[in-house]
Amino acid sequence: MSKQSLPEDFFWGNSTSSMQTEGAVHEGGKGPSVYDTYRNNDGTSVWDNAIDEYHRYQEDLDLMAKQGINCYRFQISWSRVNPTGDGDFNQEGIDFYSHLIDELLKRQIEPMICLYHFDMPLALAKKYNGFLSRHVVDAFVRYGKKMIDLFGDRVKYWLTFNEQNLYFMPGAYKIAGCIKGEETLTGIYQISHYVMLAHARIANYLHKNTTCQIGGMLAYSEVYPVSSIPQDIQCARQIDEFLNKNLLDVFVYGHYSNEVVAFVKNHHLKLDVLAADLDEISNTRSDYFAFSYYQSATISSSLVPAEAAPNYYLTYGGKENPFLPVNEWGWSIDPSGFRDILTKTYNQYQIPLFPVENGIGLREEYSGSEIIDDQRIAYHREHLKALKKAMLVDGVPIIGYLVWGLIDIPSSSGNIDKRYGMVYVSHTDRKSSNLKRIPKKSYWWFQKAIKTNGDNLD
């Protein structure tokens, strides 16, 4: 590798989730997930069809192959392969993913599996209230082990939970399938522990029984103090410790952050944490650290109540950074924060880094001519430059760069007008016309970037 070149085995790829792509919610023996219950005011749902990946995946894999993509991170829908979450497995659902994997390998695209991306099987949500229940941990581990047994011979790279630190933040109940009761701080801490226990059990099983690789994944946002006031700096540090390093400590060292453990003790949070849980967690290790990165944040301590837990600091004190551009939804564009996360994380934890989601949401309409999405090109160009600096200047081993996403899909909130893709899909929030795939200008730009292995980003 020359001084300015990425390694020849660098992964260029795309990430998706099942509920945002597949559709076909009533086909193939799939059971309902909590996402299948979300409806618009008029009773319609973008999730029923999404972008119809279930029927169109061959077309979309061809678009990936044509672009030069060599890695695809997709999610298995738990309720597609096990309709109730803890009952009999569904062979038709298993066959769908088996065929998908074979078609990826046929195109020389490395598959990467994520086991859970917010879409709890509805039966588990109704009966057990999602990841507030230890039974759901057992059900998830059973499902995860089955997928490893089925696909571990063909899939080398694995993730358990998408953006696992979100289970330690406000909103954790929704993504954890907890549909009963009001969200509490104790509940968030309990969910976070159960999710980590599930991750540890899956990771330990995978390492014991296969030669596959697995890592934890976070939604990592750089958080800056709004000023040099010491309390602003302290708040920013605590956010990083609680929301990021607490999990990274487990992924790499096998234990929770000392500061977080002290917080639980000092605030008398009554949690179901068994000695056997901590023993399982202590045996956890990661082959890489995966994360999504979209934006940075800024924290003002003056807006944070004195009694607030660090988990809630950004809810109270998050402010827009006046020194950074933002998109229409107020998400800042900060490639320097991307580099800083890559470099500081490797400096401390010394395992390879794998950014598996990076992208920008824009509002776009197709009028018969190519969509000129120069803002998206600029976003990816500058983030790739930052990645190259982290790798080639700072010495960080980076496995690859996966975009979110190649093809327009509904955002996790169901907003189709917020488009991340390099391929336009003729779909609106209220109408799914023919779902035709139409490459944007960025598709061809990224094709060139891949072909030159990142040497040509112009």
Question: CA–CA separation, 39 vs 36, rounded Å?
Answer: 8
Question: CA–CA separation, 457 vs 448, rounded Å?
Answer: 8
182 is an active site residue:
no
Summarize the confidence of residues 444-448 as an average pLDDT: 98
Confidence class for position 3, pLDDT limits 50, 70, 90: low
Catalytic hit among 53, 222, 280, 357? 357
Helices (H), ranges, 21-84 = 53-67, 78-81
pLDDT above 90 coverage of the chain, percent = 93
Please write the tens of the pLDDT for every residue from 171-221. Answer: 999 999 999 999 999 999 999 999 999 999 999 999 999 999 999 999 999
Asked if residue 429 has pLDDT above 50, the reply is no
Catalytic hit among 110, 163, 222, 241? 163
Please write the tens of the pLDDT for every residue from 386-406. Answer: 999 999 999 999 999 999 989
Q: Where are the domains of the chain?
A: 11-221+332-451
DSSP class per residue in 115-168: EESS--BHHHHHHH-GGGSHHHHHHHHHHHHHHHHHHTTT--EEEEETTGGGGG
Summarize the confidence of residues 91-113 as an average pLDDT: 98
Q: What is the pLDDT of residue 412?
A: 82
Q: What is the pLDDT of residue 2?
A: 43
Q: Which CATH superfamily is domain 11-221+332-451 in?
A: Glycosidases (3.20.20.80)
Confidence class for position 163, pLDDT limits 50, 70, 90: very high
Q: What is the pLDDT of residue 1?
A: 40
103 is an active site residue:
no
Q: What is the pLDDT of residue 413?
A: 80
